[in-house]
């Protein structure tokens, strides 16, 4: 379930690097402290000298009160109880370019409802990624640090 986006990420990397051979695209799975899981694809023209990636696309599942905020800094979920999931496209600096609206997940993470909600959201994230492929290529046309 947590790696379901990997084939889609790998497709985006293949397309992007065929169009822009100097960009380095990597598929990663990681999690920061409180996160349940995170999967990502990152793009950089020069990983050695750049302070931030040119583009960072990721799916994140974490406690709803710890990670999900509105642009004004207020909590996305005012009465968070449980986990939430979100999908984002950002510059490496954190500047958001696009997002699939985050959602609260039902029940306990071991419940079938939770798992189904994650799978449904990941399916929407796959479609969102496909719908934004032209935008991704446009963003990568010019290195962020040029």
Q: Is 1 exposed, middle or buried (0-12, 13-18, 19+ CB in 10 A)?
A: exposed
Of 57, 73, 78, give the one whose Cα is nearest residue 128.
Answer: 57
Q: Residue 145: is its pLDDT beyond 70? A: no
pLDDT value, residue 67: 76
Q: What is the pLDDT of residues 16-71, one digit of tens each?
A: 999 999 999 999 887 666 678 889 999 998 877 777 788 999 999 988 887 788 87
* pLDDT tens digits along 83-120: 999 999 998 888 889 999 999 999 888 999 999 999 99
End-to-end CA distance of the chain: 37
pLDDT (average), residues 133-138:
96
Domain boundaries, the chain: 6-140
pTM (2 decimals)? 0.89
DSSP 98: E
Tokens of 124: 């929407």
What is the structure's pLDDT at 68?
A: 81
pLDDT computed for residue 32 by the predictor: 66
Round to whole Å and give the CA distance between 62 and 104.
10
- Extract the tokens encoding 146: 């040029």
Cα gap 118→84, rounded to integer Å:
9
User: Is residue 1 scored above 60 in pLDDT?
Assistant: no
- Residue 86: the pLDDT is 94
Higher pLDDT, 73 or 89: 89
């Amino acid at each position: 379930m947590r790696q379901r986006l990997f084939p889609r990420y790998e497709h985006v990397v293949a397309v992007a690097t065929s169009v822009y051979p100097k960009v380095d695209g990597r598929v990663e799975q990681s999690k920061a402290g409180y996160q349940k899981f995170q999967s990502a694809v990152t793009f950089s023209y020069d990983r050695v000298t750049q302070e931030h990636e040119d583009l960072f696309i990721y799916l994140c599942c974490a406690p709803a009160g710890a990670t999900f905020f509105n642009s004004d800094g207020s909590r996305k979920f005012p009465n968070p109880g449980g986990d939430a999931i979100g999908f984002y496209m950002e510059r490496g600096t954190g500047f958001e370019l696009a997002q699939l609206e985050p959602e609260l997940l039902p029940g306990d993470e071991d419940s079938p409802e939770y798992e189904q909600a994650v799978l449904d959201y990941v399916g929407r994230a796959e479609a969102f990624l496909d719908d934004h492929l032209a935008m991704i290529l446009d963003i990568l046309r010019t290195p962020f640090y040029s």
